[in-house]
Structure 1
Amino acid sequence: MNTFVADVLVLSRRTEIMASQSTHIPNDKRFLIFFDFDETIVDETSDDVVVQAAPGQHLPGWLKDTYQPGRYNEYMQRVLAFLAEQGVTESDIRGVMEKIPATPGMLTLFQYLRNRPQDFEVVLVSDANTFFIESWLRRAGARPLFHRIFTNPATFNKDGRLVMRPFHSHDCPRCPDNMCKQVVVRDYVARRTQERGRAYQRVFYVGDGANDFCPALILGPRDVAFSRRDFPMHRLILETHEAMPGEFKAVTVPWVSAEEVVQRLRRLVQE
């Protein structure tokens, strides 16, 4: 049994009791923490991994040539249609998703958050899709940890094809047409603050990509952007600090292992 599978089984057993809990979100959480999925929770990009289910584990050149910048969601819809035409099944896709390794330290971070349900409200914001994410989280035993998941809807139709739809439309020039994470984060924080009758003590964002930089821009000086070191989100934050000092307000904590995130959260919780 490899290390990832062993860790997954431990986390799964520990979180099993949470699976039957209500989806109601309590109002007593002190902190709100957002996670990206691809290359943040998992150590690969799920859209790339799904290609492993294709015959020969690659896509034809004509299909790859249909990609247009800013329209990746539409491209992935064509990829999923191609996979269905090649006889790739729901079980095949789930199987390759379940095998994606977690990023270093991520299961430790999940366990830390699971042990402090009174402190953290945990939300996932991803430009992947519901089927990819749910498949991985359920295999890892981590689904009950997340109060909400915001991502592109994806369901199998009667022909066995995984059909993905855009999450929403928006006017942000920085983000792909189908999702602006800043809109998602801003609206969720505003709604939950109104429902709770008070603000969170701090908001945390754990991510890696350029589309994770956009929501991190609205974090305040008490909030923390946990950017995966040397990935696009981290580089954009550094560039912004240099070009426009004061524009990026959140504390930045780069990480290589998510255990570094745990260490910082432990200190903040004790303040």
Structure 2
Amino acid sequence: ASCFQTLTSEPEADVFLPQSPERACTMASQGPHIPSDKRFIIFFDFDETIVDETSDDQVVQTVPGQYLPTWLKDTYHPGRYNEYMQRVLGYLAEQGVTESDIRAVMEKIPATPGMLTLFQFLRTRPQTDFEVVLLSDANSFFIESWLRRTGARALFHRIFTNPATFNKDGRLVLRPFHSHDCPRCPVNLCKQVVLRDYIMRRTQERGRPYQRVFYVGDGANDFCPAASLGPRDVAFARRDFPMHRLIIETHESMPGQFKAVTVPWVSAEEVVERLRKHVTE
């Protein structure tokens, strides 16, 4: 099986969600224009990278008693977390949890140390420096709620995540982002597929590659996209989190296999320090 399948389901728009070809064409014609002169592209994970918690865990705070019944937790199967969260969100609706309840919890999640400083750095750079992309296995409602509360939404040129919308009964309905053939990743999202396809398409649109690709993440599913980066690119791995440990293990077991420069971080201010060096090159 390969990680390198090409996506065909997402529209050319600022939030990429699977939808019908007709809708995708409409969104393509209306989507925001991204200048083609950006020097760098930087990808961010969301849970435990931008925010200092896992949003799926935090939403449990909306349930009376703030815990899930054992029978529900026992329905989780490895690699199928998205399907499990669909059931969790259904249970929340049955318990009377509302859209405003969920939004309020999402808005209270703290940013990871230094992350707002990093966002401010990216905001104040010249327009030609960074194209900023969010790539997450959370969902669109959780992410949009947090970004809009912090005023960070406008920073992101693109958001790739699982679609989540409220139906007429007030239930938050979660769907998978796509399907793929990567054996490493959960069935609903391979971040490497998304990253590679997006960079390929943007390179064609721009007529030239980015000078460097940066990836900021923490989890095991962030190792997969980071593994596709080249020797000029930088993987910012949250120190001692799964992404960092997998990179170390790969260097030890398969020297030369992981090509990107690895920069571990505890505070995102360390990411800022490294980015400052690159933008002055």
TM-score normalised by L of structure 1: 0.92
Equivalent in 49, 52, 63 of residue 43 of structure 1: 52
1:112 matched residue in structure 2: 121
1:118 CA displacement: 2.0
Which residue is 2:22 aligned to? none
Name the Cα RMSD after superposition. 0.7
Secondary structure of 1:204's partner? strand
Q: For 1:140, which of 143, 150, 167 is the aligned residue?
A: 150
Which of 90, 95, 99 aligns to 2:99? It is 90
1:123 Cα deviation after fit? 0.1
Instruction: Show the 5 A alignment for 1:107-256.
Output: 107-116=116-125, 117-256=127-266
TM-score by length of 2: 0.88
Distance in 2, matches of 1:220 and 1:244, equals 16
Identity of aligned residues (%): 85
Within 1, Cα distance between the matches of 2:191 and 2:64?
33
CA distance in 2, matches of 1:158, 1:96: 21
| Alignment match, 2:76 | 67
| 4+ runs deviating over 2 angstroms | none
**Would you say how many aligned residue pairs link Structure 1 and Structure 2?**
250
* 1:24 Cα offset (Å): 1.3
Aligned partners of 2:36 and 2:78: how far apart in 1?
Answer: 40
Measure the CA separation in 2 of the matches of 1:69 and 1:196.
39
What CA deviation, in whole Å up to 9, does each residue of 1:140-181 have, x standing for no partner? 000000000000000000000000000000000000000000
SS for the counterpart of 1:182 is: helix
The CA deviation string for residues 121-156 of structure 1, in whole angstroms up to 9 with x for no partner, is 000000000000000000000000000000000000
The structure carrying a bigger helix percent of its residues is 1
Gaps of 5+ in 2: 1-30
SS at match of 2:265: coil
Gaps of 5+ in 1: 1-21
1:269 aligned onto 2:279: yes
